Structure 1
Amino acid sequence: MFELEIFETVNLLALLLGTTFGMVAQKQQFCFSGSIKDYMLTKSTKRASSVVMAMIVAIIASTFISSYFDIDLTDTNFFKEDINYFVIIFGGILFGTGMMLADGCGNRQLIKFAQGDSNSLITIIFIAIFAYATTKGLLYDVFSPITNNETLIHLSSYIQNVQMNIYVVLAVLFALLLYLIKKIKRIFSLWDGVVIGILISLAWLITGVIGEESMERIIPLEGITFVYPTAKSLELFMFYQVNELSFPISIVIGVLLGTFIMSFINKKYSFGCTAAQNINRTKYNMIGGALMGTGGVLSIGCTVGQGLTGLSTLAFASALAIISIMGSGIITAIILNKKNKLPMCFIFEWQDNPNDYQI
């Protein structure tokens, strides 16, 4: 009855993908920055384990899909020419600092807002404004002498941004996962990481296979990321004449929708954090959002954009970016914790059986 153009089908599938992502992330409170905070405050490794599991599944599933459907993941933005590793590291440091100040990365802020934390809307708006300013606005000229610095680009060229060896990467991640879970049976509780890892790989299938057939619009090969798409979503909301609904924007809308739906089922997290009474949340949300918007563009992605989507392509630049983000996040968390400004709203602990096998 209803015949959809291919780009409309892609947008619809992106909406479903984002909705599923939002529902799973809300149910389990999947979060990169939260994994740092959990370990810092309670030594819990549950959410960190889910993050690592998502990385593993995303890499395996994306490699299978790209091989089976002959998708060249090196055509993505993570392998762009004239890579500047110094800017990627700098952007990662900015983003990692920002996500801890704002108590959540770009994706996490969408989740928190849709489940009832109105403070996160401030962060989302500042992410969007500063991401757009860094891409096309005032901040583009400010950072241009660094991003387009021939010396830095030349120095970066000594290390080619090639696809890393999948066996080496998986070996490192599996070792990290075993260190984090401590007990073998805990691995079966990391279903959220498995689902999110699969969703990351399905994005390549949608844009790289279905989207390739589009004659009405050019659909680039792209995955799930949140910083610049948040900026484009705000642009679509304000100036719909100069923008159009796309795969990344549909993902953002889907995450908000999925989280909102799940918040009625899983009501435990459906309100703002009340554990930060001694923190000027508005100030921290504004500064954190600004740093994430700028840093996310400079590092070519956020925690999900580089840590999952980029890493699923095995790009060396993506590994460098997520290491910079997490390293900066850890240092910032340590500083905030010393000042008693690292809020803990919920405890995420393992639910163990007494007879679980110890590694």
Structure 2
Amino acid sequence: MDLISLVERIGEAPTAALFGLATGITFGVAAQRSRFCLRAATVEFARGRMEDKVAVWLLTFSTALVWVQAAQMLGLMDAADARMMAVPGSWSGAIIGGLMFGTGMVLARGCSGRLLVLAATGNLRSVVSGLIFAVVAQMSLSGLLSPARDRIAALWITEGGRNMDLLAATGLPPYAGLVLGALIAVLALVLARRHRIGAARLVFASGVGFAVALGWVLTYALPQVAFDPVQIESATFTGPSAHTLMFFLDRDAVLEFDIGLVPGVFIGAMLAAWFAGEMRLQAFDGPATMRKAMIGAALMGFGGMLAGGCAIGAGVTGGSIFVGTAWTALFFMWVGAMATDYLIDQRSEAVTA
């Protein structure tokens, strides 16, 4: 069945949700099997090591760049039409939100995407943290916290009514993104070989990057045959978590890509963990850990919405199309995470040693 026939049979909104489901399942399986996690990579880097966690993150990021830039060169998508590129971005939001998100993911012991994957495997800590993250994200989007988010975001915005395309702004040729992705992939594979990372884990790590490209390509194809406007987007978890929460609470909510994405990740991660025999219930270690996780989840909810995306949405999805504020947010997520690990976790470990 071709895309036109699919849209005619089930409608545009259900097709978008189906594309989200496919993207989510691909992401969930790959993320669970590769143990992809930005928080783990930043902590490893902060402690002076570049081992398996950094290698997996670099491979995911690089393969997202390669897949997405190749798709664009083949005409399968156009980054200029992506929503995060077509609207103004916030530099102040990327900086402050990125710092908050980076701090939060260290306190919560996982970014929003990682929490969703862990929740699917029976991690009750991640279930609680994920719900807090979604509620605070919704409050930041259109609730009690939205005025504060709007004020901070308005402090410094991109010029020209659009976000900044880093490739265009630097005058680099269209293939520069593909070359950069290939170079980072080489570095990731060198680290992987040095630390003897298995081939299966590397394949799944690249699968996370492929899921990002899949989302871009699918949502770009849909508007070509749809009558109503359809957002061109891919994997991210701040807005989609809030939208999915409201979908089950609001009778007037409609199907969209986001509504398929979050359940898809959960289903994919759960199936991957089930077949690998890794399903097990896990809870908080104690009250202190619970407090840190709850504070971290709240910081990620507000910070991710302020930054224009989470560790996946800004860090990989936005980064793959060279959105200026996405790369800025990613950088400050690393800064916030490394500082939090040094000031809180490392000092706590030193005291108890």
TM exceeding 0.5? yes
Give the 5 Å matches for 1:211-226.
211-215=223-227, 217-226=228-237
Contact 1:10 1:211 in 2 (8 A): no
Query: 1:6 offset after TM fit, Å?
Result: 3.9
**Greater mean alpha carbon deviation, residues 173-182 or residues 24-33:** 173-182
**1:212, 1:219 within 8 Å by CA — same for their partners in 2?**
no
Structure-1 residue corresponding to 2:242: 231
Matched with 2:217 is 205
Paired position in structure 2 for 1:350: none
Q: Is the 8 A contact 2:37 2:114 kept in 1?
A: yes
Q: 1:176 to 1:231 in 2, by over 3 A?
A: same
Q: Secondary structure at the match of 2:92?
A: helix
Q: What amino acid does structure 1 have at the position aligned with 2:224?
A: E
* Inter-partner Cα distance in structure 1 for 2:80 and 2:254: 26
> 2: CA distance between counterparts of 1:141 and 1:153?
16
Equivalent of residue 54 in structure 1, options 48, 54, 60: 60
Equivalenced residues, count: 334
Q: Is the 8 A contact 1:263 1:270 kept in 2?
A: no
Ranges of 4+ aligned residues in structure 1 off by more than 6 Å? none
Question: Which residue in 2 is equivalent to 1:267?
Answer: 277
Indicate the residue corresponding to 2:41 in structure 1.
Answer: 35
Report the equivalent of 1:255.
265
- 341, 346, 352: which is aligned to 1:333? 341
Q: 1:94 aligns with which of 100, 105, 108?
A: 100
What are structure 2's unaligned runs of at least 5 residues? Answer: none
- Which one of the candidate residues 295, 298, 319 is aligned to 1:290? 298
Contact 2:238 2:304 (8 Å CA) reproduced = yes
Please tell me whether residue 10 in structure 1 is matched to residue 16 in structure 2: yes
Match of 1:130 in 2: 136
Q: Deviations over 1:195-244 (max 9, x none)?
A: 111111111111001343123x43211111001100111101111x2211
User: Which whole-Å deviations, capped at 9, do the CAs of 1:155-192 have from their partners, x for residues lacking one?
Assistant: x78x9812324357437635753674463975845112
SS in structure 2 of the partner of residue 210 of structure 1: helix
| Worse-superposed segment, 323-332 or 69-78 | 69-78
Q: How many Å separate the matches in 2 of 1:29 and 1:237?
A: 29
Is structure 2 residue 76 aligned with structure 1 residue 65? no
Describe the SS at the equivalent of 2:157: helix
The verdict on how the C-alpha distance between 1:208 and 1:121 changes in structure 2, with shifts beyond 3 A counting, is same
Structure 2 counterpart of 1:108: 114
In 1, Cα distance between the equivalents of 2:17 and 2:163?
Answer: 34
CA distance in 2, matches of 1:13, 1:146: 33
Residue number in structure 2 paired with 1:245: 255
Please say if residues 62 and 201 of structure 1, whose CA atoms lie closer than 8 Å, have aligned partners that are also in contact.
Answer: yes
Q: For residue 14 of structure 1, report the CA deviation from its aligned partner.
A: 2.1
Query: What per-residue deviation string (whole Å, max 9, x for no partner) do you get for residues 25-51 of structure 1?
Result: 222221111223445679462122111
Give the drift of 1:269: 5.8
2:34 is equivalent to residue 22 of structure 1: no
Aligned-partner Cα distance in 1 for 2:183–2:329: 17
Query: Retained in 1: the 8 A contact 2:84–2:163?
Result: no
Match of 1:153 in 2: 157
For 1:190, give the aligned amino acid.
Answer: L
Which amino acid in the other structure matches residue 237 of structure 1? F
Given that residues 11 and 247 in structure 1 are in contact (C-alpha distance below 8 angstroms), is that contact kept between their aligned partners in structure 2? Answer: yes
Gaps of 5+ in 1: 343-359
Conserved? CA contact 1:110–1:255, under 8 Å: yes
Instruction: String of CA shifts for 1:321-355, please: whole Å, max 9, x gaps.
Output: 1111111111111223234369xxxxxxxxxxxxx
So what's the TM-score if we normalise by structure 1? 0.83
Structure 2 equivalent of residue 143 of structure 1: 149
State how far apart, in whole Å, the 2-side matches of 1:102 and 1:63 are. 33
| Inter-partner Cα distance in structure 2 for 1:174 and 1:70 | 22
* Cα deviation, residue 248, structure 1: 1.5
Tell me, yes or no, if the aligned pair for 1:18 and 1:252 is still in contact at 8 Å. Answer: yes
Match of 2:181 among 137, 156, 170: 170
Give the secondary-structure state (helix, strand or coil) at the position aligned to 1:303. Answer: coil
Question: 2-side partners of 1:178 and 1:12: how far apart?
Answer: 33
